[in-house]
Chain A
């Protein structure tokens, strides 16, 4: 699934007969590991200089106690009513990963998708900042 989340933005045409290996190591799992992995992988690919159409940002939305919430923690994931990881290219609004399990009404789903969009947008900002920071650091030296 994580592969399918990132695959669409990588310009694979530049790498015929090649493989790009991405290794994600989860050091501590407290829900949202897949989203965190995707976010990290996306930035790491950019850091590696792999040409991409955009950055993928991911976050999880869910429902706890009949309320739609962003970024579940472990307890909310285990005992909540729904869990929905989303990954998207915020710039184009293209969704690359969408999964849901639990119980959501159609209205709640719309709300959740909207919240996921907002969540991904703020992640995208941080990813961008992290990449800019790297080169800013080089300039100062």
Chain B
């Protein structure tokens, strides 16, 4: 985010990019090893820890009955929050969420909401209440590409979450109505070379990032450009195509192509 990087490192990464290489030896469209563990937090209705290389996020899902928004009485509620824990990066400070945390939360939220990952209309309760779903993302270690890790963590935690029906007297516990499987893929453009899953160094020197969230059929559910750099229309088109097919691959590798995990 606002990390400082040595000029010599910057030059090195740019030099490598010219030869289509990366500092950690990955191919341009190659992700770092992704590891997903679920159910680590017993008190949460759903939880997941995702590692993408050294980047690490923990996502907790809390589900409880509550009042719906007055304008949408027949739909459940999703509330997403991101905590950039100070121990995760020298540039994270304690205090209320900053611009970066809010952006991250909005992108994660948008991926889940706009893709229709959860059928919110199935979250109504007989007494006029609805299920409120809180998605809390804690960034534990920041080594680049928080967007993809957070989005993946949110999806994994939701897929494995259970509605605590019994506790509130609504019958037996049940899983959430999961209908889609949105995967976020982030790319940076260094000197015309598009790199997926940017490491911290790569995203620090790239002036802008593009996150593309796509669903099961490859259709787009959300997109976000961040950073003060610019991208050409052609670059955007290239990234979107690349991201959509990469998302399919990640989904197949992690979830076996289905949403039931």
Count contacts between A and B, CB distance < 8 Å: 77
Bin the interface of chain A by size.
Answer: 20 to 34
B217-238 contact mask (Cβ, 8 Å, vs A): 1 or 0:
1111111111111111100110
Kindly state the separation between the CA atoms of A78 and B196 in the bound complex, as whole angstroms: 32
Provide the residues of chain B in CB contact with A104, threshold 8 Å. Answer: 219-220
Q: Please, which residue of chain A has its CB at the minimum distance from the CB of B115?
A: A103
CB distance from A39 to the nearest CB of B (A): 17
CB distance from B215 to the nearest CB of A (A): 8
- Is B161 close to A, CB under 8 A? no
Provide the residues of chain B in CB contact with A4, threshold 8 Å. Answer: 225-228
Kindly state the separation between the CA atoms of A96 and B229 in the bound complex, as whole angstroms: 7
Do residues B219 and A117 form an inter-chain contact, with CB atoms below 8 A? Answer: no
Provide the residues of chain B in CB contact with A117, threshold 8 Å. Answer: 233
Do residues B224 and A99 form an inter-chain contact, with CB atoms below 8 A? Answer: yes
- Is A66 close to B, CB under 8 A? no
- Is A97 close to B, CB under 8 A? yes
Do residues A102 and B114 form an inter-chain contact, with CB atoms below 8 A? Answer: yes
Provide the residues of chain A in CB contact with B139, threshold 8 Å. Answer: none
Do residues A113 and B225 form an inter-chain contact, with CB atoms below 8 A? Answer: no
Q: Which residue, of B113, B225, B240, has the highest number of chain A Cβ atoms within 10 A?
A: B225
- Is B18 close to A, CB under 8 A? no
Kindly state the separation between the CA atoms of A96 and B207 in the bound complex, as whole angstroms: 11
Residues of B bordering A, CB below 8 Å: 103, 110, 113-116, 207, 210, 215, 217-233, 236-237, 240-241, 244
Residues of A bordering B, CB below 8 Å: 1, 4, 7-8, 84, 88-89, 92-106, 109-110, 113, 117
Q: A4-B226, A95-B225 are in contact. List 12 more A-B contacts (CB 8 A).
A: A8-B228, A8-B229, A88-B230, A92-B230, A95-B233, A96-B225, A98-B231, A102-B222, A103-B115, A106-B219, A109-B220, A109-B240
| Closest 10 pairs (CB-CB, A-B) | A94-B230, A100-B223, A98-B225, A7-B228, A101-B114, A104-B220, A101-B110, A105-B219, A101-B222, A95-B231
